Amino acid sequence: MRDTPKMAICLYLHLTLAFSSVVWSLVIWSGHLQMGFGLMIPALMWSPAIAALVTCRLLGRELRSFAWRWPKEKYLAAAYLLPLAYASVAYGAVWTWRLGGWNSEFVGLVAQDFGLNGLPPWGSLTLYIVAMSTVGMIQNLSMALGEEIGWRGFLVPELAKQMSFSKMSLLSGVIWAAWHSPMLLFADYNAGTNRWYALGCSSLTVLSVSIMLAWLRLKSESVWPPALLHASHNLFVPGVFAIPAKLSGIRLNSAQLWQ
């Protein structure tokens, strides 16, 4: 098979569609992203990686083309902290302008889940945040890496060979947003809002974040910074900021997180 950027992109996207469609079909059939004990989430997130691996195999490429090299620490630090920065601004504005309140029910559930008698609610919440920021990050990274091997490890460099950074980041973001759409429109991958409204908000977020992810991938020449930023976003935005924040009576759960 002839190895050209266009051929590689076409083959990769077709394989990603094929592998993802299997998971989409099962989730849409059940109507719930958490079906199968939640195992469909990592299965879907690793579909782009499997597609990239098969593409490289068919094209005769080596696996080191995914840029496994360990990057400079500044890129890892930026990847970890960026979601904290923009989430702090967004939710800080929500709390400052009283657009949302504090979800005391969630804090109570955290204290109950830890089951540490005598520990005040704020202590349990602090323990929750520390656990999420460390062990939770490892768990999220194991799933986010699947997407990033495909989208930023394979697709972004191939697109960068043919177009400018702005066009490449926009196109990769549109493809990534479209990949999320079946779960938003036909399953429960939303916060209980109108499906088309959820699709618009999700697509805008994905397009914005894709620029940062693409920049980190090309600048660091490594797949690890975008994987870490992806994991950090999935952890901090819905798991640390959105759940404690009670926004218009909407309560999020793990089936409604941006992946």
Q: In this predicted structure, what is the pLDDT of residue 254?
A: 33
Q: What is the pTM of this model?
A: 0.89
Helix/strand/coil for 191: coil
Binned at pLDDT 50, 70 and 90, residue 103 comes out as low
Split into its structural domains, the chain has a count of: 1
Packed helices 224-236 and 121-150: angle between N→C axes, nearest 10 degrees: 140
CA distances from 199 to 44, 153, 193 (A): 18, 25, 10
Helix/strand/coil for 97: coil
Given a cut of 60, is residue 258 above it in pLDDT? no
* pLDDT tens per residue across span 65-95: 899 999 999 999 999 999 999 989 988 887 7
Domain that holds residue 173: 5-256
